[in-house]
Chain A
Amino acid sequence: MKLTLHIWRQAGSHSTGRFETYDLADVRPDMSFLEMLDQLNEQLVASNTEPVAFEYDCREGICGTCSLVINGTPHGPRNATTTCQTYMRHFHDGDEIFIEPFRAAAFPIIRDLVVDRSSLDRVAQAGGFISVGTGNAPDANALPIAKQDAEDALSAAACIGCGACVAACPNASASLFTAAKISHFADLPQGGPERGERVRRMIAAMDEEMFGSCTNHGECEAVCPMEISTRLIGQMNREYLRSLVVQT
């Protein structure tokens, strides 16, 4: 099929960006969206033009690196699917496709479609861990954990840290990302001792990093490739309230 691509190009964080239009022929339905962009880039390089910068690594939907807004939606048209796992069979001959970076105050653009998401790392550094030094652990079966609790923890921990939730949110809030980590540990007994401290510190870090606040739009859940539920934001808020009452 033939496509018309409108791609955001921007030389650096402080430059102004604009859409550039490219026509691309011979796109096959069994190509992934990124393979389609590879094809464009190979053509650009062959004509000695700088290729479009876009990020990816695993190309199997698990590393959280790929980050494109496709026709206005972070990660594109497919539910519960990352950009790299989106296939061209979901597009049609003659389609015009708009491709932009994830946009948020906390995600400055680096170049073209590449943004800086290190703010998410800093939120994680504020408390997204259990403080246990290597070699200090008791036997793994010393502490039985209900199967359901372990599964709930895993569903929350499944977050791949891509930041689509932030890009989709009208307030550019990182609440879903942060709530996922808070819930992961709140569901497990190991997370108990640092429970209050963790939620207070991570929420403070979120504010410091210029993420907006949550006003229940629910756009985050709709684009999350791991289908993390906004229910967890409620859980985070309860954890926060609890931390103000119960000092841990």
Chain B
Amino acid sequence: MGTAVSAPASMTLDGKVPVGPLAEKWTSYRSDARLVSPKNKRQFHVAIVGSGLAGASAAATLAEQGYRVSCFCFHDSPRRAHSVAAQGGINAAKNYQYDGDSVWRLFHDTIKGGDFRSREANVYRLAEVSSQIIDQCVAQGVPFAREYGGYLANRSFGGALVSRTFYCKGQTGQQLLLGAYGALNRQIAAGNVVMHTRHEMLDLVLTAGACRGIVTRNLLTGEIQSHAADAVVLATGGHSNVFYLSTNAAGCNVTATWRAYKLGAAFANPCFTQIHPTCIPPSGEHQAKLTLMSESLRNDGRMWVPKKVGESRPPTEIPEVDRDYLLERKYPAYGNLAPRDIASRAAKEVCEEGRGVGPKGLGVYLDFAESIAERGRAEIESRYGNLFRMYEEITGENPYRVPMRIFPAPHYTMGGLWVDYELMTTIPGLFAIGEANFSDHGANRLGASALMQGLADGYFVLPQTIGNYLSASRRLPAVNGELQDGARRVTDRVGKLLALRGNRTVESFHRELGRVMWQYCGMSRGREGLLEAIEKIQQLREEFWSSACVPGDHTHLNMALEKAGRVADFLELGELMCRDALTREESCGCHLREEYQTADGEAQRNDEQFAHVAAWNCHGEDHEPVRQQEELVFSEVKVAERSYK
């Protein structure tokens, strides 16, 4: 495979957006959607892969509706999905603070935040169902923060001008997941969901072009098994770990969606990755992950670096005049609450100028001294106590006394499987929800909107759209031969991995891939670098399949084997991300394309040529992937230049 990259093709994708005014689309869709009769629901078997917020909420709700549901996760318990790590909060257009919020405003902020690269109708629907999510979670006993009067508290988060974020101290994700886990457990206990933990989905089963099942490997016994289903839902989370160091958990991977891509599902906007500004900087080679400090810290912390290159004084001895409060200086209207990409890029820039702080100059200060003086230590402790403690455990520094050091890290993947309005991929019968799909965040996601989207998809959208598919699909049982073919493909692949007895660890391939991705396909990228990266990744992949080392066998728990399979897929995904970045000849959302910026270094979007979703189709190992487009039509919002000045 060469490095030439195909020019944008003219094939287009249809998102199947219902007709009618934006605010009425979802209502009219639901009125028109076909329903499955209650007695037929038991006949349909839905396989859900993933038990994070999206998967658990979907599994519970579909089971409540009467479908037969199987749910799979690679974790030892559904409660451990990486949704558990979300700290900051979840958005909803409740307008409880009476500060001017509305469905329209949440919708508009999300579309604008995504730099006008998402589908209007999906985003509007997301804002519309957001309120119901909070109602549902409170009814489940999620202990959101409250005011003294007993009503729900909110905070403003990540660049929003209204307070619409609900939170549980620094544990919002965990508490929401426990709510969904509870709902799932109730259905497991009732026998309506069969839960398969420690099962990794490694392939799909297609019959006559439609998805009719999955193939899993039991991680404890190595058993490879096909499971027939009438519809399959992938809720397998994001793939930021392609960068090796990210805020994601060690297990997060792309395998499920990548297998779907290889079988024909289009993969949308793979180059859109969010880099989060407030992570604890790496301390050395051994580093296995980067820890996110909730963005809510920027409500009370001020970001600064020394004005002088090579400053050697400790931060507390640097006087005000020698400090550069970079966000307050560059973006006075938003200051320290400027959007994530802007904050990340600003931090990266000053580090490149040599004004970074901490080991290797990879960091900027986030200083709480002023807030502590103003509001008192007790108040700051009540807001961020656990985050401060975590920071101290990791760095050995006390953030009540010295400013924190932070640095950007890959955090969230807006790209993912392309889905239509019904959340169905280009393979009939295969749905994708949560971070695994590309849907609602365009080229950049607003803080506290991923939890909202995962739960919107799982509780409120998919359960209303899947029936429309199932009721119309003639029930084609998966043919035995196809189930066996799937299992054979997986067995072959596992065998191929275990035959690798070279001299280089899988970990070191992953680390190297991560470095290439961070350098060439991170927050800013350019043509030359991307071409170089594609070549490097191809070489790395070749080397992997000749000299990686995968010890052990497949009949017992073998984490080295699991990791090898995931890294092999990352080595393919990385290339597609670079190709996508290369063909998107504009700067938008999270990313600066170096060739497309204004004289003063601001991102230059190109709506004329790139107001579309790029969705890639795999045409086998020996052919280049083909780029399709879904044109984005903005009928009710005014497409505006994004300016946070």
Q: Could you tell me which A residues sit within 8 Å of B by CB distance?
A: 11-12, 28, 30-32, 34-35, 38-39, 42, 44-46, 48-51, 53, 55-65, 78, 80-81, 85-87, 89, 110-111, 114, 116-118, 120-121, 124-126, 128-141, 143-147, 150-151, 153-154, 157-158, 160-161, 184-185, 188, 190-191
Contact present for A60 and B390 (CB under 8 Å): yes
B175:A132 contact, CB within 8 angstroms: no
Q: How far is the CA of A143 from the CA of B134 in the complex (A)?
A: 13
The one of B135, B185, B463 in contact with A138, judged by C-beta atoms closer than 8 angstroms, is B135
In contact, B75 and A89 (Cβ under 8 angstroms): no
User: Is the pair A126, B189 in contact by a Cβ cutoff of 8 Å?
Assistant: yes
B77 CB-CB contact with A under 8 Å = yes
* B138 interface neighbour in A85, A114, A137, Cβ under 8 Å: A137
Q: Is the CB of A154 within 8 A of B143?
A: yes
**CB contact under 8 A between A137 and B250, given known A30-B284, A118-B76, A147-B150:** no
Q: Are A141 and B96 in contact (CB under 8 A)?
A: yes
Q: Across the interface, do A64 and B80 meet the contact criterion of CB distance under 8 Å?
A: yes
Q: What 1/0 flags go to B221-235 for Cβ under 8 Å of A?
A: 000000000000000
- Give A109 to B284 CA distance when docked, in angstroms: 33
**Most chain B beta-carbon contacts within 10 A, residue among A30, A32, A55, A63:** A63
The CA-CA distance from A120 to B289 in the complex, in Å, is: 28
B-side interface residues, number (CB < 8 Å): 84
The 4 tightest CB contacts between A and B, nearest first, are A144-B150, A129-B182, A137-B139, A137-B135
Cα distance A65–B479 in the bound complex, in angstroms:
38
A28 CA to B463 CA, complexed, in Å: 50
Which of A45, A130, A138 is most buried by chain B, counting CB atoms within 10 A of its CB? A45
B249 touches A59 (CB 8 A): yes
Complex Cα distance A34/B289, Å? 11
CB-CB under 8 A from B508, the residues of chain A are: 42
Which of B364-372, B550-558, B597-605 contacts the other chain?
A: B550-558
B132-158 contact mask (Cβ, 8 Å, vs A): 1 or 0: 101111111101111111111000000
Does the CB pair B394–A85 fall under 8 Å?
yes
Q: Say whether B481 faces chain A, with CB atoms less than 8 Å apart.
A: no
Q: Are A12 and B556 in contact (CB under 8 A)?
A: yes
Contact yes or no, B80 A128, CB < 8 A: no
List B499-549 residues whose CB lies under 8 Å from chain A.
501, 503, 505-508, 549
5 contacts between A and B (CB under 8 A): A31-B284, A34-B288, A130-B182, A134-B460, A140-B137
A157 and B396: CB pair below 8 A? Answer: no
Task: Give chain A's interface secondary structure class.
Answer: loop
Tell whether A57 pairs with B249 under 8 Å between CB atoms, given A134-B61, A141-B152.
yes
Complex contact B390–A85 (CB within 8 A):
yes
B residues near A55, Cβ cutoff 8 Å: 76
A59 to chain B: which residues have CB within 8 Å? 249-250, 288-289, 291
CA distance A12 to B292 in the complex (A): 36
A128 partner residues in chain B, CB cutoff 8 A: 182, 185
A131/B186 contact (C-beta < 8 A), A45-B560, A60-B85 known:
yes
- Identify which of A32, A135, A160 contacts B136 (C-beta below 8 A): A135
Question: Quick check: A125 and B178 within 8 Å, CB to CB?
Answer: no
Q: B135 and A134: CB pair below 8 A?
A: no
| Complex Cα spacing A61 to B459, Å | 28
Would A53 and B151 count as touching, CB distance under 8 A? no
Cβ distance B249 to chain A, nearest Cβ, rounded Å: 4
Tell me the bound Cα distance from A232 to B559 in angstroms: 37
Q: A62-B171, A63-B82 are in contact. Are A120 and B150 (CB under 8 A)?
A: no
Let me know if B556 and A111 touch, CB within 8 A: yes
User: What is the chain B residue whose CB lies nearest that of A58?
Assistant: B249
The answer to whether B174 and A48 touch across the interface, beta carbons within 8 angstroms, is: no
Cβ-based interface call for B169 (8 A): yes
Contacts of A135 in B (CB 8 A): 132, 136, 459-460
Type the 1/0 row for B176-202, where 1 means its CB is closer than 8 Å to any CB of A: 001001110110110000000100000
> Is B132 in contact with A137, judged by CB distance below 8 angstroms?
yes
Residues of A within 8 A of B136 (CB): 132, 134-135, 137
Is B310 located at the chain interface by the 8 A CB criterion?
no
A49 touches B82 (CB 8 A): no
Evaluate contact between B171 and A42: CB separation under 8 angstroms: no
Q: Are B145 and A150 in contact (CB under 8 A)?
A: yes
Query: In the complex, are the beta carbons of B396 and A30 less than 8 A apart?
Result: yes
**CB atoms of B64 and A57 under 8 A apart:** no
Give the complex CA separation of A174 and B642 in angstroms.
53
Return A115 CB to nearest CB of chain B, in Å.
9
- Decide: A48 and B286 in contact? CB cutoff 8 A: no
How long is the Cα–Cα vector from A81 to B386 in the complex, in angstroms? 11
* Residue B287 lies at the interface, judged by CB distance under 8 Å to chain A: yes
B251 at interface (Cβ–Cβ under 8 A)?
yes
Interchain CA distance A152-B150 in the complex, whole Å: 13
Contacting pair B61 A150 (CB below 8 A) = no
CB distance from A59 to the nearest CB of B (A): 5
Nearest CB of B to A167, in Å: 15
Task: Name the interface residues of B113-169: CB closer than 8 Å to any CB of A.
Answer: 132, 134-141, 143-152, 168-169
Query: Quick one: closest B residue to A190, CB to CB?
Result: B141
Q: B283 at the A/B interface (Cβ < 8 Å)?
A: yes
Residues of chain A contacted by B353 (CB below 8 angstroms): none
Residues in B whose Cβ lies below 8 Å from that of A137: 132, 135-136, 138-139
* Bound CA–CA A146/B145 (angstroms): 10
**B220 near A: Cβ within 8 Å?**
yes
Does B584 touch A at the CB level, under 8 Å? Answer: no
Q: Is B268 an interface residue (CB 8 A)?
A: no
- B106 in the interface (beta carbon within 8 A): no
Contact for B169 among A118, A147, A154, CB less than 8 A: A154
B60 in contact (CB, < 8 A)? yes
- Nearest CB of chain A from residue B95's CB, rounded to whole Å: 11
